[in-house]
């Protein structure tokens, strides 16, 4: 274990101990504490000095270190701002487990509401002066000015899945959706599919749609296929004309939908119109649990949400322990599977 990790772990253990003690309690002698925690005396003194600086203890001549008073919130707090608690529940769990190993205290804050509300939530988190902040931003409010302030500020920060708009540099843990979408197209090509369509039922301005469509185009290029404009539905207004392409000799034999819900929506629209789609290969993304009820198999991608949490925690811990640590991007692969 690295020296700095030992120090921060010691800080967390001492803070927990102090939090359970009443004001006026005198801590054991420095050598006794050093032996108890298995650290050197200089490391122990450094930790006590930081605790004193944060107002948890006071050094009194001839007495030693005295507890000033228990606090409702410890200074070694990390804040995770999350826009979708249900979707990222596994990510939050693995993130929390990893940071607790280093004796950090995690606060999970929902990032909900309109742009003004979210900006106030982020600003409040910054004003708490936590040791670090992790952010899974709301795609619809991904360009708030407060993100640039956060990224350039003194608090170590890691973003999940994508950097906010206007943030040119920052640590990032990301699922490589573009690469995985490219692999999905190649997978279907090897199965014999040649007429590919792309479908989304949300506006193309949403960043997740843009990156997955870019992956679709990458896959088409790698397979030496040319996308047909009439088989691309990138906006809800194009749906009616797009559905007409599913009858006749020019119908697609594979449809790549930007996620599982879009695939389910397209199947419903085709069924309502009485169009037989049993011979068409459909793909989605996200591996939703409800896919098990589909009458037709769907090629999807199981996201590494547990690995995402662990990777984000590792990046943030390295930033905290080494403030000169340069921004890093950790890309995680998804797993292509049948529903």
Residue range 67-123, pLDDT digits in tens? 986 554 445 789 999 999 999 999 999 999 999 988 888 999 999 999 999 999 999
Please give the Cα distance from 213 to 257 (Å, whole number): 9
Instruction: Read off the tokens for 136.
Output: 């899974």
Q: What is the pLDDT of residue 59?
A: 87
What is the reported pTM? 0.74
Contacts of 11 (CB under 8 A, 6+ apart): 47, 50, 51, 76, 103
Going by pLDDT thresholds of 50, 70 and 90, the confidence category of residue 283 is very high
Q: What is the pLDDT of residue 233?
A: 96
Q: What is the pLDDT of residue 129?
A: 87
**CATH topology identical between 77-169+305-334 and 177-302:** yes
| Maximum CA extent, the chain | 93
Q: What is the pLDDT of residue 52?
A: 86
| Residue 71 phi, psi dihedral angles, 5° rounding | -115, 150
Q: What is the average pLDDT score of the chain?
A: 90
Going by pLDDT thresholds of 50, 70 and 90, the confidence category of residue 125 is very high
Domain 77-169+305-334 has CATH 3.40.50.2300: yes
Q: In the chain, what are the domain boundaries?
A: 3-67, 77-169+305-334, 177-302
> DSSP secondary-structure letter at 314?
H
Q: What is the pLDDT of residue 154?
A: 92
Going by pLDDT thresholds of 50, 70 and 90, the confidence category of residue 3 is very low
Among 156, 171, 180, which Cα is nearest to 332's? 180
Higher local confidence (pLDDT), 166 or 121? 121
For the segment 215-228, the average pLDDT, to the nearest whole number, is 97
Tens of pLDDT, residues 10-41: 887 888 788 788 888 999 999 999 999 999 99
Q: What is the pLDDT of residue 2?
A: 39
What is 3-67's CATH number?
Answer: 1.10.10.10
What is 177-302's CATH number?
Answer: 3.40.50.2300
Q: Where are the beta strands (DSSP E) in the chain?
A: 57-60, 64-67, 77-82, 105-110, 132-136, 157-160, 171-175, 196-199, 232-233, 254-257, 281-283, 299-302, 329-332, 335-338
User: Taking 60 as the threshold, does the pLDDT of residue 1 lie above it?
Assistant: no
Of the listed ranges 60-69, 164-173, 207-216, the one predicted with least confidence: 60-69
For the segment 181-187, the average pLDDT, to the nearest whole number, is 96
């Amino acid at each position: 274990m690295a020296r700095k990790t030992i120090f921060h772990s010691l800080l967390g253990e001492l803070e927990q101990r102090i939090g359970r003690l009443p004001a006026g309690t005198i801590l054991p002698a420095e050598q006794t504490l050093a032996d108890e925690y298995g650290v050197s005396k200089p490391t122990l003194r450094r930790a006590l000095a930081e605790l004193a600086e944060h107002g948890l203890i006071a050094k009194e001549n001839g007495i030693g270190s005295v507890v000033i008073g228990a606090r409702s919130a410890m200074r070694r707090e990390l804040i995770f701002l999350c826009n979708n608690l249900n979707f990222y529940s596994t990510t939050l769990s693995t993130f929390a487990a990893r940071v607790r190993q280093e004796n950090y205290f995690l606060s999970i804050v929902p990032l909900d509401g309109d742009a003004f509300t979210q900006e106030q939530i982020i600003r409040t988190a910054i004003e708490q002066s936590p040791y670090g902040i992790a952010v899974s931003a709301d795609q619809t409010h991904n360009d708030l000015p407060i993100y640039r302030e956060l990224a350039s500020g003194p608090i170590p920060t890691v973003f999940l899945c994508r950097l906010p708009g206007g943030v040119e540099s920052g640590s990032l843990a990301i699922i490589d959706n573009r690469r995985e979408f490219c692999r999905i197209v190649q997978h279907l090509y090897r199965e014999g599919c040649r007429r590919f369509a792309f479908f989304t039922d949300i506006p193309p301005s949403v960043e997740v749609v843009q990156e997955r469509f870019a992956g679709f185009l990458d896959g088409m290029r790698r397979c030496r296929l040319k996308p047909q404009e009439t088989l691309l539905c990138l906006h809800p207004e194009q749906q009616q004309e797009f559905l007409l392409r599913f009858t006749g000799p020019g119908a697609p034999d594979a449809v790549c939908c930007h996620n599982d819900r879009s695939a389910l929506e397209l199947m419903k629209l085709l069924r309502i119109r009485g169009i037989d789609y049993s011979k068409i290969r459909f793909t989605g993304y996200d591996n939703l649990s409800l896919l098990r009820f589909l009458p037709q198999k769907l090629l999807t991608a199981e996201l590494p949400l547990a690995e995402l949490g662990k990777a984000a925690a590792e990046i943030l811990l390295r930033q905290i322990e080494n403030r000169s640590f340069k921004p890093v991007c950790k890309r995680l692969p998804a797993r292509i599977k049948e529903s």
